[in-house]
């Protein structure tokens, strides 16, 4: 397993901002906790990216975001929310960490405005209360500015108000300020400052801060790498319900890292706990384990599909893609090509490169719907941009044949040469096919690629390369 290096907001999209708002309207003030073949799938499930928080946090409720909403949450429910600030008067001042019941009515009004969808009015009232010293309003207004709710997205303003709340001891704001430094959102990127604020949040008991501190310690980002301390912070956050911390513990034990020894049984146990707590990445891992029968699991397609479905319900694109494969290939369910094609479309729209490639094949071949070579090319190109190397091969073939795109032999050769140079056997053979009818220089190059295909170890490439070399020999090429 390797670390995912993605923008956190793309991890597990699940309408988190709306969900957070609804949770915060209903919640009373108080504490709350906050993928391809087997080896490649597990390799894609690396350490979850940093959490930072999202959505308009309603003053007086439990601000935060659910896992997989926009960046910010390491648990299945929002982290704890400090009480309103204490002021000597309602005159503008710096926020204070103590409670002040004189803000209670206005904070309740903010909650009502958000519940009614009056986000602009809520944002204005939040700012007014923040400037008068309400710590919760200060934090909530920063969230509104960061998310662009009730007004324009203002990252620099959000950082300014996060800082005010953080400096007054608001632990969620400390975590958000840490993420601003980590991501460079509204402020110059500074990993040392990010780690500093994460530590303050973590030491204050904030599970998101604990999770994020664990991430930077495991990576050595802004601090000296210390996997042992990272594990301890992950454990503390996991005890508070952080499913992302459970998942990251599983990742660390799966591969082992520095002083942490590989411990697959312990990794699987943490994946089970994370999946039970709602982490879709761990749901995917369990689905793959049941599908493959690896690591002591008894192969069980029904169990695999159950975990894929649970992950898909949370919007995990790789789980959605696996469901598409099940319906395309009849893996535990009857073959249903139209359904498979529709499911692949859902996964592709969420950025899954494997689904984009599969969708390209179905559109090219007319399976599960009408043949559409032009749409197939679009999916292949999207898969290429998403990092699916095989898609480049099929796009090159489409260019060579002029299928769904204007024929461009030069571009096709360029793509195939690039893939072949990286060891792609089918590209070596296809170069042999395209170049063997050309001038002597191209025929010589064709022979070189075909001979390389013979050494590639691919049985299918070996057979085809032998046939083409025999034809070249017979023609004197």
Mean predicted confidence (pLDDT) in 439-467: 94
Is pLDDT above 70 for 36? no
pLDDT greater than 90 at residue 91 = no
What pLDDT shows up at residue 260?
Answer: 85
pLDDT more than 90, % of the chain: 74
**pLDDT for res 240:** 97
Residue 6: pLDDT above 50? no
Task: Give the pTM.
Answer: 0.76
pLDDT reading at 367 higher than 60:
yes
Q: Which residue has the tokens 């050309």?
A: 438
**pLDDT band at 46; cut points 50, 70, 90:** very low
More confident residue, 417 or 69: 417
Place of tokens 């802004």: 222
437 versus 298: the higher-pLDDT residue is 298
| Whether the predicted pLDDT of 477 surpasses 90 | no
* pLDDT at position 313: 97
Q: 102-123 burial, b for 16+ CB within 10 Å, e for fewer?
A: bbbebbeebbebbeeeebeebb
State residue 16's pLDDT score: 42
Task: Identify the band that residue 87 occupies on the pLDDT scale cut at 50, 70 and 90.
Answer: very low
Q: What is the mean pLDDT of the chain?
A: 84
Domains and CATH numbers, the chain: 1-234 (1.25.40.10), 420-477 (no CATH)
Q: pLDDT per residue over 187-208, tens digit each?
A: 999 999 999 999 999 999 999 9
Which pLDDT band, with edges at 50, 70 and 90, does 50 fall under?
low
Residue 246 has a pLDDT of 98
CA–CA gap between residue 316 and residue 314 (Å, rounded): 6
Mean pLDDT score, 78-100: 40
Choice among 28-37, 147-156, 464-473 with the minimum mean pLDDT: 28-37
pLDDT tier for residue 83 given thresholds of 50, 70 and 90: very low
For residue 431, give the nearest of 450, 457, 403 by alpha carbon. Answer: 450
Residue 168 confidence class, pLDDT cut points 50, 70, 90: very high
Of 67, 146, 133, nearest to 316 by C-alpha is 67
Say if CB 150 and CB 122 are below 8 A apart: yes
With bands split at pLDDT 50, 70 and 90, how would you rate the model's confidence at 90? very low
Largest distance between two CA atoms of the chain: 97
- Segment among 20-24, 36-40, 57-61, 362-366 with least mean pLDDT: 57-61
**Dihedral sign of CA atoms 379, 382, 386, 388 in order:** positive
């Amino acid at each position: 397993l390797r670390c995912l290096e993605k923008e956190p907001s793309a991890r597990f999209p699940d309408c988190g901002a709306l969900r957070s708002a609804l949770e915060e309207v209903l919640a009373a003030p108080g504490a709350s906790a906050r993928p391809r073949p087997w080896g490649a799938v597990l390799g894609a499930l690396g350490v979850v990216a940093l959490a930072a928080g999202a959505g308009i946090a309603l003053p007086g409720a439990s601000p935060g975001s659910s896992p997989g909403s926009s960046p910010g949450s390491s648990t299945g429910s929002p982290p704890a929310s400090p009480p309103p600030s204490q002021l000597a008067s309602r005159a503008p001042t710096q926020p204070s960490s103590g409670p002040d019941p004189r803000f209670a009515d206005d904070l309740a009004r903010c909650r009502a405005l958000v519940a009614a969808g009056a986000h602009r009015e809520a944002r204005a009232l939040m700012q007014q209360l923040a400037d008068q010293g309400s710590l919760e309003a200060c934090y909530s207004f920063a969230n509104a500015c960061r998310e662009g709710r009730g007004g324009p997205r203002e990252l620099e303003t959000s950082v300014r108000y996060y800082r005010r709340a953080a400096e007054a001891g608001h632990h969620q704001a400390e975590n958000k300020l840490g993420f601003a430094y980590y991501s460079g959102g509204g402020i110059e990127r500074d990993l040392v400052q990010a780690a500093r604020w994460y530590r303050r949040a973590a030491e204050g008991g904030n599970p998101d801060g604990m999770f994020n501190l664990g991430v930077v310690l495991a990576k050595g980002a802004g601090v000296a790498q210390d996997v042992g301390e990272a594990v301890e912070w992950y454990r503390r956050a996991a005890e508070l319900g952080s499913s992302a911390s459970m998942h990251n513990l599983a990742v660390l034990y799966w591969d082992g890292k520095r002083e942490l020894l590989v411990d697959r049984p312990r990794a699987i146990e943490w994946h089970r706990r994370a999946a039970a707590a709602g982490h879709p990445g761990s749901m995917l891992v369990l689905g793959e384990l049941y599908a493959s029968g690896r690591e002591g699991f008894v192969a069980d397609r029904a169990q695999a599909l159950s975990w894929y479905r649970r992950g898909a319900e949370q919007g995990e694109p790789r789980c959605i893609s696996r469901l598409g494969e099940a319906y395309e290939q009849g893996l535990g369910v009857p073959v249903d090509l139209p359904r498979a094609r529709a499911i692949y479309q859902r996964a592709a729209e969420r950025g899954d490169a494997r689904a984009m490639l599969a969708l390209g094949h179905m559109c090219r071949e007319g399976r599960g719907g009408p043949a559409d070579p032009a749409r197939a090319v679009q999916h292949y190109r999207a898969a290429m941009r998403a990092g699916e190397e095989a898609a480049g091969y099929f796009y090159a073939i489409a260019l060579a044949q002029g299928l769904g795109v204007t024929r461009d032999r030069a571009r096709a050769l360029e793509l195939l040469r690039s893939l072949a140079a990286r060891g792609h056997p089918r590209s070596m053979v296809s170069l042999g096919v395209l170049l063997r009818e050309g001038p002597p220089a191209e025929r010589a190059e064709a022979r070189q690629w075909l001979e390389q295909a013979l050494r590639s170890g691919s049985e299918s490439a070996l057979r085809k390369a032998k046939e083409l070399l025999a034809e070249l020999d017979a023609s004197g090429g």
